[in-house]
Structure 1
Amino acid sequence: MTDKRPLKVTVASRLFTPEVGAASFRLQALVDGLVANAAEVSVLTTRPPSGSPAFTAPYKLSRWPVLRDAGGNVRGYVQYMSFDLPAFFRLLFAQADVVVSEPPPTTGVMVALSSAIRRRPFVYYAADIWTEALSATDVPGIVIRVMRAAEGFALRRAAKVIAISDAVAEKVQQFGVPADRVVVIGNGIDTSVFGPDGEAAGSGDPYFVYTGTMSEWQGADIFIRALPAVLAEHPRASIRFFGQGADEPHLKELAAKTAPGRVHFGGVIPPAEAARWIRGAAAALVSIKPGQGYDFAKPTKIYAAAGCGTPVIFAGTGEGAALVADNRLGEAATYDVDSVAGAMASAIGRPDTLGPARVAWVRDNASLAASGRLAAAEVLALKGVGAGAAPRQGLGEIID
């Protein structure tokens, strides 16, 4: 007899709407796709930062108080565990058929353990490989090894791993996850927000915009170091950073020394406001420092800029550079001051005629709603699948 019960899905994530971030947008698209297919969804997440806009949803939102750092972020091991440990017990009592886990790996471990106890499958949504980014930062080797063990434990226990790109899928399989457990659904942005229609910021002086996370492995300082050469040709040019991250204090210090008064930091802003600044920019800046083990990444900010019709200047190599160059989304520059400065100066000095083509490419290839529907379909496909779908492993594996 066919089971006509709606699938009960619980999503566990430290970030969710209305908190601004790629993970929040991605998970909301997944949940929207599940609800559209009559799934019964609940989200276990955190209380948003003070001052966040109100958000109501046609599904259950269970929010938990969490420790945040000085910038209001859930970033750092103490902060992670303030969500993960309560989440473990919340999941034990959750009436779910399937659980979806978002990074960091510590959350994945709690989802894996609680799912094993409750004998139900879980899905790991791999937007990136957490320990690849961690390896590019200045942390002790033992921390990287422990976190890599945790990430591998969670990935191998999952009944299915959803990856946002072929490159991420390949990295997942390097943890020993069978290829038939990994599906690629792509990534994207909300094209109703990041589109060409709407107000553009700016008062006439040319500026560049950097949106989103500022981490060491991204190396956004290359743009600040390139700015003096740009100012020699275009003395009114500036850079505007919106977002947050561990590298922000370093960027501010460098900006004060290198180009005083020409680099502005606006903090975290709503997506619609970010789109307004992107539309008015000479170019959007995106970077990944080469040789840090993260060249496989395709930052979401590429899609956001191209969706608004704004050219992208990508500093780095690998998948991100190929994405920009192969699809005429802007210019892929070598990660050095001269190359980046040349690209920035050219973006100001030449007319841009490819905006409509970029917008069309994003609508066809990088719609977040479309990837959310694909992700939801993969979760729904687990209906009726028991915990035996995933390999059974001892707890000792996590410390091997």
Structure 2
Amino acid sequence: MEGAREGRPLHVVVATRIFAPEPAAASLRLGALVRELAAAGHRVTVLTTTTPDDAGYVPPPGVRVLRRPVLRDSDGYVRGYVQYLSFDLPLALRLLTTRRPDVVVVEPPPTTGLVCTVVSRLRRVPVVYYAADVWSDAVVTAGMPRVVATVLRGLERVVLRSARAVLATSTGVVERVRALGAQATVVGNGVDTTVFHPGGPAVEGERPYLVYTGTASEVHGADVFTRAMGRVVAARPDALLVFIGQGSDVAAMRRQAEELAPGAVTFLPRMPPEEVARWIRGARASLASVLAGAYAFAFPSKLYAAAACGTPVLFAGVGPARELVSEGRLGQVVEHDVEAVAAAMVAALDDVDGASAPASPERRRRAAWAAAHVSAAAAARRAVDVVERAARSAR
């Protein structure tokens, strides 16, 4: 790659509260970035957290992963301001005592970005901020007090403007970053097509099922699917809805499922990507949603995983995912409405021999589209180019 050819290899520090093998979209993005940096000949140090099971990740040659304990919430997630601070405060010392890097890449939240900004300015090291989303928009959507949103917006503005470069996962994020007075480069998002592909094993249950994978929060409005299940089981009594993951809406969704469709909704915890892929392959459709509002520009990366497995998508809501699903002919797009969603869910369940069939040409076409357009490796290579330019500009 260009950076390694132009001079000595870079020393890149990646600071993130979440990293492989912990299953999350951020882990996937950063894991791909680390692999591509190492493939380009650079040395990488990842400053991250211990997880319940770190044995599943073997870093590539040239990569050190340094883990420290951190506070987690009741679901085992590093989520919440106390949990963030338990990572951010020790991170300052870790950055000060780590061999001086050429560039620091930092994953949100903005509090972590601020720590990296302050320490890196002291050490005269450029920072690249990886903006998968805009946190100050998210807290507005979540209904947080106005003072919290105002403080976070000011903090995020400082971090974005101070960064030598900002990586954005979508054009929607770029527009929000510009609104905060900074510039960003779209590198895209993606999925590991070595894990998510149509050729692996699939879950084979006695009941046809639909699957939702990943986070279910105020941004997504995923409860539209549990609310729709009452109508779905009236038409298809054998139907099953499977949720895999976590999020602030899950508790309410459990109550809805028990009231509206008892026995028809299963909630499973986070699991390794290989297991998630098995569930996606066996599903009649993979579900995703985004609510209208301040965070309508969000893109649910779970759509990439479904497309890579060849499984049809059912998207409900607003935002750039509507256009992508339509352009790629990945499945159904409906309004965020219970009746419309229920009808689409029944249609997906009834499609036994069509788009979701294991040998369907459409399944192979969707998977080929994903490999060509939403590969995590391709997105990571674009990110590496930005990181290299940021490091060279500081010399």
TM-score normalised per structure 2:
0.94
2: distance between equivalents of 1:202 and 1:53?
28
Matches within 5 A, 1:1-400: 4-48=7-51, 50-57=52-59, 58=61, 59-94=63-98, 95-178=100-183, 182-291=184-293, 293-350=294-351, 351-352=354-355, 353=360, 354-386=362-394
1: distance between equivalents of 2:108 and 2:231?
39
2:112 partner amino acid: T
CA contact (8 A) 2:210 2:349 kept: no
Unaligned runs of 5+ in 2: none
What is the root-mean-square deviation of aligned Cα atoms in Å? 1.4
**1:390 aligns to what?**
none
Structure with greater contact order relative to length (CA < 8 Å, sep ≥ 6): 1
Worse-superposed segment, 31-40 or 197-206: 197-206
Q: Deviations over 1:328-371 (max 9, x none)?
A: 11111111111101111111223215212211110110000111
Shift of 1:3: 7.3
Shift of 1:77: 0.1
CA contact (8 A) 1:34 1:380 kept: no
2: distance between equivalents of 1:258 and 1:119?
58
3-state SS of paired residue (1:298): coil
1:258 partner amino acid: L
2: distance between equivalents of 1:54 and 1:286?
28
2: distance between equivalents of 1:52 and 1:91?
22
CA contact (8 A) 2:126 2:391 kept: no
Q: Deviations over 1:203-250 (max 9, x none)?
A: 242111000011122111100111121112211001000011121111
2: distance between equivalents of 1:383 and 1:52?
30
Q: Deviations over 1:34-72 (max 9, x none)?
A: 111111110000111x24543231311111110011111
Aligned residues: 381
Unaligned runs of 5+ in 1: 388-400
3-state SS of paired residue (2:383): helix
3-state SS of paired residue (1:239): strand
Shift of 1:385: 2.4
- The share of aligned pairs that are identical, in percent, is 47
2: distance between equivalents of 1:216 and 1:92?
37
1: distance between equivalents of 2:155 and 2:204?
45
2:390 partner amino acid: L
TM-score normalised per structure 1:
0.92
CA contact (8 A) 2:128 2:390 kept: no
Distance 1:345 1:54, change over 3 A: closer
3-state SS of paired residue (1:71): coil
Q: Deviations over 1:75-132 (max 9, x none)?
A: 0000000001111121122221100010111111111111111111110011111121
2: distance between equivalents of 1:294 and 1:159?
25
